[in-house]
Structure 1
C-alpha cells in the first residue's frame, strides 16, 4: 500500500512514557512510580474543576457546545481581547497544526530554534516545508534575524519559555525583533509555559493583547496542560488578529473539544489562586534542583518553567541514566534525541523530588 511520500521523512513524536507502560514492562507497582517526564502540574488541578466536571458527566450523550462560548468568554475576559481574536484547539498542538496547513506548503520555509518543541518540525514535514534551525542552543534573536534575512521564512516559531531547555526571552527584546519582521511572515509565540516565566521574572512576561495590537502577523499560543493541571483534558488556544483566526477556523473540525474539557478549562480560569500557589511551590522546589546540580558538579540551565534541564558531564550518559532511573520507577525525559547529553526533569512535589535526588545521586 502506498502512502503520502511526505511521511517518509517524519519520525513519530515520542511522548513521555506513561505510568501504565512502566507497570507492564518492569512489573513495578503504580504507587512506586514517579513520572517527572512530561511537565504536568504535580499538584493536579483545582478542586473546583474536579467538582464541576463531576457534575456534568450526565450530559455525555450530547455533543459539546461548538461555539465554546463559556470558555471563550473566560479567555477574552482574562486577556482583554475580542472573540474574533481567539481559536480553541485540542491542546495548543492542534493550533500549531492549523497554522502550518494554513500558511505553509512544499515551497515554504519554517524557522525554528535548534533545540525546541519537536512538533514544529513534525507539522512542517506534514506539508513538505523546509525546516531551518539556528545553531544556538538557547534562543538567539540576532541569529534568528540573520537567518530571517537570508532565508525569508514563511513562519518563525519562538518558544518562550522554551521547551525542552527552560530558557526564556526578554519581552522587550522579542518586541524589538518583531518590529523588524515583514508583515507577510507569520510569527508564532508559543507561551505554553508563560504562566511560570511571568511569575518568576516580569521581564519575561508577554502580553497577548499587546502582541496582536502591535503586530497583525503574530499569533500567541497558550495551554491548560501545564500550570492549570489539565494535561489530560487537551485544551489550548491561539490569540491573533481577526484575519488570521478566520483562516485558521477553516481548518478546525467540529466539536474538537469535549464537553468535559470545555467545562474544566472554564472553571480552571476562575481559580487563579490555585495556579499561582502551584507555580510558587514549583519554583521553591526548583532551588533544590539547583543545589543538587552543584553537589553533583553538573550544569543546569536556568529555568523559567516547571522543569529543569540537567546537563551531564562527558563521562556520563543521559540514555544510560534515564534508562536506569526508569527501571527504578522514575520517569524522566532523555534529551539525547535533541543532540544534548542531558535529562529534563519536571519539578515535582517535595516527596517526588526527594525520590529523584536519592536515585539520581546513587546512579551518578
Structure 2
C-alpha cells in the first residue's frame, strides 16, 4: 500500500523510555526505577486536582463541555485576554500541529533552532514544507534573522522559550526586538511550555501573552498543564493569540479533543497557585545541587530555566554509554546523542531521586570503562 510521500523520510518521535519497558527489558522491579527522562513534574499535581478528578470519575461516560467555557474563562482571567483568544488542545503539541498545518505547505518554509523540540520538525514535514535551522544549538536570534532575511517564503518560525531539550532561555526584550523585524504574514509560535519555570527564575525571561498579542498580530503563544501543574498524563495545553489566528486553528480541532477528566483537572489546577509556586521553588533549589555536582566532577552544564538540566561531556566520556549504564541501574534519563550532542538531559526529580542519580552517575562517570 502506498502512502503520502512526505512520510517516507519522516522520523517517529521517540518519547522517554517508560518504566514498564525498563521492567521488561532489564528485569528491574518497578519500585526500584526512577524516571528522569520526560520532564514530568515529580512532585505530581495539586491534591485539589486529585480530589476533583476522583469526584468526576463517574462522568467518564459523558463527553466534556466542548465549548470548554469554564477553562477558557479561567485562562482568560489568568492572562488578561479574552476567551476568544484561546484554543485548547490535547497537550500544547496539538496546538503546534494546528499552527503548522494551517500555515505550512510544500511551497514555503519553517524556521527553528538547530536543537529544539523534535515535534516542530515532525509536524512541519507532514505538510511537505522545507525545514530551515540555525547553526547554533541554542537560540541565536542573529542567526534566525540572517536566515529569515535570506528567504521570502518562511511561513512559520518556532521560538521555544525556555528551550527543550537544552534549557536555555532568551530575554524578553531580545524576543520583542526580534518580533519587531518579522513580517505580519509570518506566524511566530512561541512555545511557553516551561514559561512558569523561566519566569520564576528570572523575570527578564517572562513572556506575557497579553503583551504579545496586543503588539504582534502574528504571534501564537503556547502553554501547557503538563509541566509546572503536574498533569502530563492528562494532556491539556492551550494556545493564545488574536482571534484572526485562533479561529482558523479551531477549524482543525476535532470535537471533544480533551477528556471530561482532563477538563476538570485543568480547571481545578488553576485554583492552586500555592502548589505551583512550591513546586517551582523546590525545582530550582534542587537544580543548584546539580550545578554544584557538575562543577565538582568537572563537566559542563547549560544554565537551565526549566525543570531539567543538560549535562555535557568531553571526548573522554560517551553520553550513550553513560545513559545505558544508568538504565541498567534503573535510572531513566534522556541521551541527547540523537541530536548530535555528547550530552544527557536529566529531569530535576525529588530530593531522593536526585541523590540516587548523583550517586550512581558519579560511580559510572569515574569508571575508566566509560570512554
TM-score range (shorter-chain normalised) is over 0.9
Structure 1 residue 60, shift from structure 2 partner: 1.1
- The residue number in structure 1 matching 2:276 is 275
What are the ranges of 5 or more consecutive residues in structure 1 without an aligned counterpart?
none
Structure 1 residue 122, shift from structure 2 partner: 0.3
- The residue number in structure 1 matching 2:48 is 48
Structure-1 separation of matches of 2:2 and 2:347: 40
For the residue of structure 1 that corresponds to 2:102, the secondary structure is helix
Residues 67-111 of structure 1: CA distance to partner in whole angstroms, max 9, x if unpaired?
Answer: 111111110110011011000000000001011110111112000
- The residue number in structure 2 matching 1:213 is 214
Structure 1 residue 307, shift from structure 2 partner: 0.3
Instruction: Say yes or no: does 1:340 pair with 2:341.
Output: yes
- The residue number in structure 1 matching 2:122 is 122
- The residue number in structure 1 matching 2:369 is none
Instruction: Say yes or no: does 1:223 pair with 2:224.
Output: yes
- The residue number in structure 1 matching 2:22 is 22
Structure 1 residue 329, shift from structure 2 partner: 0.3
- The residue number in structure 2 matching 1:163 is 164
Structure-1 separation of matches of 2:20 and 2:294: 30
Residues 319-349 of structure 1: CA distance to partner in whole angstroms, max 9, x if unpaired?
Answer: 1110110111000000011111000000001
TM-score norm. by structure 2 comes to 0.97
Alignment of 1:69-84 (within 5 A): 69-84=69-84
For the residue of structure 1 that corresponds to 2:150, the secondary structure is helix
TM-score norm. by structure 1 comes to 0.99
Structure 1 residue 313, shift from structure 2 partner: 1.5
Say which is worse superposed, 57-66 or 344-353, in terms of deviation.
57-66
Alignment of 1:55-66 (within 5 A): 55-66=55-66
What are the ranges of 5 or more consecutive residues in structure 2 without an aligned counterpart?
366-371
Structure-1 separation of matches of 2:101 and 2:165: 24
Structure 1 residue 191, shift from structure 2 partner: 0.4
Residues 108-146 of structure 1: CA distance to partner in whole angstroms, max 9, x if unpaired?
Answer: 200000000000000011011100000012111111111
Structure-2 separation of matches of 1:224 and 1:62: 22
RMSD: 0.6
- The residue number in structure 1 matching 2:205 is 204
Residues 207-253 of structure 1: CA distance to partner in whole angstroms, max 9, x if unpaired?
Answer: 00000000000000000000000000000000001000000010000
- The residue number in structure 1 matching 2:68 is 68
Q: Which runs of 4+ in 1 moved over 6 A?
A: none
Residues 140-161 of structure 1: CA distance to partner in whole angstroms, max 9, x if unpaired?
Answer: 1111111100023110000010
Structure-2 separation of matches of 1:329 and 1:275: 28
Structure-2 separation of matches of 1:237 and 1:108: 26
For the residue of structure 2 that corresponds to 1:76, the secondary structure is helix
Between the two proteins, the alignment pairs up a number of residues equal to: 364
For the residue of structure 1 that corresponds to 2:42, the secondary structure is coil
Structure-1 separation of matches of 2:349 and 2:151: 41
Alignment of 1:215-254 (within 5 A): 215-254=216-255
Structure 1 residue 268, shift from structure 2 partner: 0.4
Structure-1 separation of matches of 2:343 and 2:4: 34
Structure-1 separation of matches of 2:260 and 2:89: 13
- The residue number in structure 2 matching 1:349 is 350
Structure-1 separation of matches of 2:25 and 2:55: 36
Structure-2 separation of matches of 1:191 and 1:250: 23
Structure-1 separation of matches of 2:108 and 2:232: 31
Structure-1 separation of matches of 2:308 and 2:297: 18
